[in-house]
Amino acid sequence: MKVGFVHLGCSKNLIDTEATIGIFKKNKFEVVNNQTKADIIVINTCGFIDTAKEEAINTILEMAEYKKSNCKYLIVMGCLVQRYYEELIKALPEVDLFIKIQEYDKLWDKIENLINGELQEKIITKQSKKILDIPKMPMLTQEQFLNRTITTGENFAYLKIGEGCSNKCTYCAIPYIRGPFVSRKKEDILEEAKNLAKQGIQELIIIAQDTTKYGIDIYGESKLDELLEEISKIQGIKWIRFLYSYAEGITDQLIEVVANNKKIAKYFDIPIQHINNEILKKMNRRTSKKQIENLINKIRQKIPDVIIRTSLIVGFPGETKDQFEELLEFVKQTKFDKLGAFTYSKEDGTPAARLTNQIHGNTKKARYNKIMQLQKEISKRNLESKINKQYEVLVEHISFDGKYYIGRTMQDAPEIDGLVYIKNENQKNLIGKFIKCKVAKVSGEYDLIANA
Kindly state the average pLDDT of the residues 409-436: 89
C-alpha 179/C-alpha 286 separation (Å) is 19
The amino acid that residue 6 corresponds to is V
The amino acid present at 92, given as its one-letter code, is L
Residue 126: its pLDDT value, please? 45
Pairing of strands 203-207, 239-242: parallel
DSSP letter string, 166-187? ----TT--HHHHH-S-EEPPHH
The confidence score (pLDDT) of residue 369 equals 98
The per-residue pLDDT for range 113-162, each reduced to its tens digit, is 898 876 544 444 444 444 345 667 788 899 999 999 999 999 999 999 99
In SS3 terms, 69-96 reads as HCCCEEEEEEHHHHHHHHHHHHHCCCCC
Give the torsion sign (CA, 165, 166, 172, 173).
Answer: positive
| Tens of pLDDT, residues 386-411 | 999 999 999 999 988 888 999 999 99
pLDDT in tens, 25-63: 999 999 999 888 899 999 999 987 888 889 999 999 999
pLDDT of residue 132: 40
Task: Express each pLDDT in 307-341 by its tens digit.
Answer: 999 999 999 999 999 999 999 999 999 999 999 99
- Which range, of 3-7, 48-52, 185-189, averages the lowest pLDDT? 48-52
Name, in order, each residue with C-beta under 8 angstroms of 49's C-beta and a sequence gap of 6 or more.
342, 345, 347
Q: What is the separation of C-alpha 203 from the centre of its chain, rounded to a whole number of angstroms? A: 16
- Judged on CB neighbours under 10 Å (0-12, 13-18, 19+), 124 is exposed
Torsion from C-alpha of 316, 321, 327, 328, nearest 10 degrees: 130
- For residue 343, is pLDDT > 80? yes
pLDDT in tens, 61-80: 999 988 887 789 999 999 99
pTM: 0.92
Residues 162 and 211 sit within 8 Å (Cβ to Cβ): yes
List, for residues 300-316, the tens digit of each pLDDT value: 999 999 999 999 999 99
Give the three-state DSSP class for 240. strand
Over residues 238-260, the pLDDT tens digits come to: 999 999 999 999 999 999 999 99
Closest CA to 16 of 99, 72, 95: 99
Q: Residue 106: its pLDDT value, please?
A: 85
Question: What pLDDT score does 135 carry?
Answer: 64
